[in-house]
């Protein structure tokens, strides 16, 4: 099952695009296409959508949206720790701006897409310096090379640090 939720003016277009791209692979559900948000029925519909989303296995949304934050909090109630069940498209929403390159990225020198593209090797730590641009790139700094430039956001993931706490070594 695939549940689609979006701002009401574009919901119909998104549902049509989803059905076109995914075909019969998923059953597509969505909220009503009503643009009137000032009725008791509309309020009930919004609450129902929040409840459905909170019970989903995985959510992709923008944490800058209050609706997304509410759904996440409800997920915590219904599912317990839901941190792995949600992904924010607003990568910069979190305080930690350190990301990790998932693959080597070296644009061709003869025809670079952008003049200031940043090179990276797999597992390089990249610091995000700006929000995602409309072309999918971010302004970033590579800690290994100490250079700044534009880097494709889709080649980055969260950078996790594992610290060695020797005080816990003898606990059995």
Model confidence at 110, pLDDT cuts 50, 70, 90, reads low
**pTM score, whole prediction:** 0.50
pLDDT at 36: 63
Domain containing 121 equals 93-158
Last residue of a domain, one of 42, 72, 91: 91
Whether the predicted pLDDT of 95 surpasses 50: no
Last residue of a domain, one of 65, 91, 117: 91
Q: Verify that 76 and 122 share a domain, yes or no.
A: no
For the segment 126-155, what is each residue's pLDDT rounded down to a tens digit?
888 887 777 788 888 999 999 998 888 888
Q: Verify that 47 and 106 share a domain, yes or no.
A: no
Which two structure tokens, joined as six digits, stand for 79?
A: 């599912």
Which two structure tokens, joined as six digits, stand for 148?
A: 């700044």
Domain count for the chain, please give it: 2
State the Cα–Cα distance between residues 70 and 40, nearest whole angstrom. Answer: 20
What average pLDDT does this structure show over 94-121?
A: 72
pLDDT at 75: 92
Whether the predicted pLDDT of 49 surpasses 60: yes
Q: Verify that 136 and 55 share a domain, yes or no.
A: no
State the Cα–Cα distance between residues 15 and 3, nearest whole angstrom. Answer: 9
Residue corresponding to tokens 């069940």: 85
Q: Verify that 28 and 42 share a domain, yes or no.
A: yes
């Amino acid at each position: 099952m695939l549940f689609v939720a979006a701002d009401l003016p574009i919901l119909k277009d998104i549902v049509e695009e989803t059905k076109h791209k995914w075909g019969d692979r998923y059953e597509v559900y969505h909220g009503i296409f009503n643009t009137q948000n000032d009725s008791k029925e509309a309020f009930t519909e919004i609450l129902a959508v929040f409840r459905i989303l909170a019970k989903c296995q995985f959510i992709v949304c923008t944490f800058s949206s209050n609706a997304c934050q509410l759904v996440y909090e409800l997920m915590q109630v219904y599912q317990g720790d839901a941190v792995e069940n949600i992904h924010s498209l607003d990568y910069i929403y979190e305080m930690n701006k350190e990301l990790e390159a998932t693959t080597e990225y070296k644009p061709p020198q003869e025809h670079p897409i952008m003049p200031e593209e940043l090179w990276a090797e797999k597992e390089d730590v990249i610091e995000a310096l700006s929000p995602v641009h409309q072309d999918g790139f971010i302004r970033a700094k590579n800690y290994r090379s100490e250079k700044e430039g534009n880097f494709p956001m889709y080649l980055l993931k969260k950078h996790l640090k594992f610290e060695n706490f020797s005080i816990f070594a003898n606990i059995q």
